[in-house]
Chains A and B, each alone.
Chain A
Amino acid sequence: MMWPSQNARRMWATVATFAAFLGGFLAYLNVEPVAVLFQGQHLQNLFRDVFPPRLAVLWERSGLWWSVVETLAMAFAGTTLGLAFALPAGLAGAANTTPHGGLRAAVRFQLSLERALSSFFILMVLLIAFGLGPFAATVTLALGTLGGFGKLFAESLERVEAAPAEALAALGASRSQQICFAVLPQAAPALITGSLYAFDINLRAAIALGIFGAGGLGAELLLAYNTLRYHDVLALALVSLVLVTAVERVSDFLRQRI
């Protein structure tokens, strides 16, 4: 038990260390937040430039809704493709289902590489390879999904109870029969929940990749931004917000039903 005075001293020491670190980082970045925030007219300018959102862009700009559909399609196709590869990757990467320990290590390493590579770099490479268009973005999303959800699937497979598989083994079931009838059914709820979650993430990522040149709603945003139509940018940001929130609600609803 620590006395309050000691406790307080420790707290102030922690706060001082934090402040010193923060100050150090800001100094390294050549940033003076107080000066930037309060001396300039930046925030007033932002509000003047951006507010109110020009909602007219929603019906004036033909092709906008098509770009929304394209973003949804990229996210959905990317999710499905990624998950289709994530399931075998998860099976190969989980200790209790992998055919070989060496394969497990290789798959795990490859998945971690896919998670660590920045998506915009993958997209840039794929845009050169496959040309401009939604193809490269879809594959980028699929690779990201594979990296994240391959790992997640492997972990949920490893968390499964061992007893049912052992019981089947005692009855003479083969390894693949054990996996099909004892391991996968136990992990299924986690896998399905994860899949719905993957679409939420990918929709957001699809909008972000659009800003890097992948087309869809993100491209509309970038175009408005580059032509200094900031009121349109805000309106399009609101569209993204509604879209992401709506999809989140739908997947919450589906998750509860399953």
Chain B
Amino acid sequence: MVPYSARRQLVRRAVGFGLWLGLFLAAAALCDLSPEILKQGLGKAPQFAREFFPPLWAAADEMVEPLLSTLALASAASLLGMLLAFPVGLAAAANIVPVWLRLPVRILLGAERALPEILQLLFFVVAFGLGPFSGMCALAFSSIGMLGKLVGDAIEDADDKVLESLKATGASFWQVIRYGLLPQVLPSLAANALFRFDVNVRSSVVLGAIGAGGIGAEIARSMGMLQYNRATMAVLGSLILIYAAETVSGQLRRRLLEDGRS
């Protein structure tokens, strides 16, 4: 005999699953998810393989400059984001600033994280035109959106006793922050910034396609000119960049965390 509560749980799960399935079927109908389209698309696979492969190796040296530009864009945005995330995080911490400052800052950070980067890029392009500067602004903003919140949370979790004892010795507000707070939050900020660098490299490829230049622009242009094997070459370049950034960011993060433990 199944216990009552277990049966109720089973029923609830079945209802949840049924709801999910029903919603999926409705969504699939809206999105024209039909086997015919799938079959028709998959039928083109051999032709695609011929057009996209082999990569246009001759274009390899044309990819170096865009790749470096994408890397520089992501790096500059990450550094800028990390530098600005600390003051923004201070303004988002309840134990540092009054509510009338913390609340709007938190709302702005939340709104920033909710909007896709591409959409933010569009606004920066309206202001600054196409080019790497707009891309850097979009990426720096989204870095601040994430890092600023994490710094704010870290400051709110920081050990109050350290701050209190510094205050008791007569330290000024900025000295308390410099010697009490900064050492507590800096390691986690650096680790998160390294993670954000990994994310920013991926995003800067995407933003490039809309107008920030670099390898993303190269991919989009090759696709637009129907030079599919050149696009494959550019994509290969972006894969190398992304894997390299992931490895470097992961290694540095691991070393940082090991340093913190010893």
Residue in contact with A134 in the complex, picked from B32, B117, B132, B202, CB distance below 8 Å: B32
A248 located at the interface, meaning its Cβ lies under 8 Å from any Cβ of chain B in the complex: yes
A-B contact count, CB below 8 Å? 167
B58 located at the interface, meaning its Cβ lies under 8 Å from any Cβ of chain A in the complex: no
The chain B residue sitting closest to A215, CB to CB, is B31
Residues of B within 8 A of A233 (CB): 122-123
Residue in contact with A248 in the complex, picked from B28, B44, B83, B114, CB distance below 8 Å: B114
* A131 to B44 Cα, complex, angstroms: 12
Chain B interface helix/strand/loop/mixed:
helix
B192 located at the interface, meaning its Cβ lies under 8 Å from any Cβ of chain A in the complex: no
The reply to whether A77 and B231 form a contact with Cβ atoms under 8 Å apart is no
The reply to whether A118 and B27 form a contact with Cβ atoms under 8 Å apart is no
**0/1 interface trace, chain B 40-53, chain A, CB 8 Å (1 if under):** 11101100100010
**0/1 interface trace, chain B 210-236, chain A, CB 8 Å (1 if under):** 100000100110010000000100010
Residues of A within 8 A of B68 (CB): 28
B173 located at the interface, meaning its Cβ lies under 8 Å from any Cβ of chain A in the complex: no
B179 located at the interface, meaning its Cβ lies under 8 Å from any Cβ of chain A in the complex: yes
The reply to whether B219 and A121 form a contact with Cβ atoms under 8 Å apart is yes
Interface range on chain B (Cβ under 8 Å from partner) = 35 or more
* CB-contacts of A179-203 with B (<8 A): none
- A-binding segment of B91-99, B146-154, B160-168, B238-246: B238-246
Chain A interface helix/strand/loop/mixed:
helix
Residues of B within 8 A of A31 (CB): 76, 131-133, 136
Residues of A within 8 A of B110 (CB): 245
The chain A residue sitting closest to B128, CB to CB, is A42
Residue in contact with A73 in the complex, picked from B30, B118, B202, CB distance below 8 Å: B30
Task: Give the interface centre of A4, A112, A118, A129 by most chain B CB atoms within 10 Å.
Answer: A118
* A230 to B52 Cα, complex, angstroms: 37
* CB-contacts of B81-119 with A (<8 A): 83, 110-111, 114-119
* A225 to B125 Cα, complex, angstroms: 11
* CB-contacts of B36-84 with A (<8 A): 37-38, 40-42, 44-45, 48, 52, 68-69, 72-73, 75-76, 79-80, 83
**0/1 interface trace, chain A 153-166, chain B, CB 8 Å (1 if under):** 00000000000000
The reply to whether B116 and A240 form a contact with Cβ atoms under 8 Å apart is yes
The chain B residue sitting closest to A112, CB to CB, is B243
The reply to whether A25 and B114 form a contact with Cβ atoms under 8 Å apart is no
Residues of A within 8 A of B136 (CB): 29, 31
* A214 to B110 Cα, complex, angstroms: 26
B2 located at the interface, meaning its Cβ lies under 8 Å from any Cβ of chain A in the complex: no
Residues of A within 8 A of B34 (CB): 135
A30 located at the interface, meaning its Cβ lies under 8 Å from any Cβ of chain B in the complex: yes
Interface range on chain A (Cβ under 8 Å from partner) = 35 or more
In the assembled complex, 10 residue pairs joining A and B whose CB atoms fall closer than 8 Å, in A order, are: A26-B76, A29-B76, A29-B136, A42-B128, A49-B126, A50-B126, A77-B30, A116-B242, A129-B41, A135-B41
User: With A31-B132, A73-B31, A212-B209 given, can you name 5 additional A-B contacts, CB distance below 8 Å?
Assistant: A25-B72, A25-B73, A76-B27, A120-B219, A211-B119
Q: Which residues of B contact A (CB under 8 A)?
A: 20, 23-24, 26-28, 30-34, 37-38, 40-42, 44-45, 48, 52, 68-69, 72-73, 75-76, 79-80, 83, 110-111, 114-119, 122-123, 126-128, 131-133, 136, 179, 202, 205-206, 209-210, 216, 219-220, 223, 231, 235, 238-239, 242-243, 246
Q: Which residues of A contact B (CB under 8 A)?
A: 4, 18, 21-22, 25-26, 28-31, 33, 36, 42-43, 45-46, 49-50, 69-70, 72-74, 76-77, 80-81, 112-113, 116-121, 124-126, 128-131, 133-135, 137-138, 204-205, 207-208, 211-212, 221, 225, 230, 233, 237, 240-241, 244-245, 248
